[in-house]
Amino acid sequence: MRDVDDKIIYILNSSLPTPSFKPESDPATVCQDLYKELNSNYETRSNQINKCIHSSAEHVRTLKSKYENNENDLDVFKHLKKEQNKLRMLKTEVNVEEVLRARTFKVFDERCRNSFKASANPL
């Protein structure tokens, strides 16, 4: 899912022509299409991460309840700690997504600012 983010510079370099090749393609259309693809990917990833966070948080609540009822059950305790760690990692993933978005849109803006004006808040 991060394929576009990882290859943003390559995509922009191969899609956007230099001034000498400008008549062969339309930079505004290329940038607009890429912008739509980026936003679509971000929305999909954000929804998936939030769904995982919600599911994991619900699982943590269930395991906490089980552990509170029987504090001597080490298997439940281990599973609870594992699930809490997973939840922390998922929440960290939200921050990683923010960094990726900022980096990607910075590169996007550097290459597309003359031909395409993206909305002020890209998601």
CB 33 within 8 A of CB 112: no
Task: Return the ∠ at Cα 26 (arms to 25 and 32), rounded to 5°.
Answer: 130
Q: What is the pLDDT of residues 57-98, one digit of tens each?
A: 999 999 999 999 988 889 999 999 999 999 999 999 999 999
Higher-confidence residue of 3 and 56: namely 56
Structure tokens at 3: 């394929």
Q: What is the pLDDT of residues 35-61, one digit of tens each?
A: 999 999 999 999 999 999 999 999 999
Domain boundaries, the chain: 3-18+26-112
Contacts of residue 43, Cβ cutoff 8 Å, sequence gap at least 6: 123
* Per-residue pLDDT band at 121 (split at 50, 70, 90): very low
* Cα 106 to the center of its chain, rounded Å: 15
Q: Which amino acid is at 56?
A: S
Contacts of residue 46, Cβ cutoff 8 Å, sequence gap at least 6: 97, 123
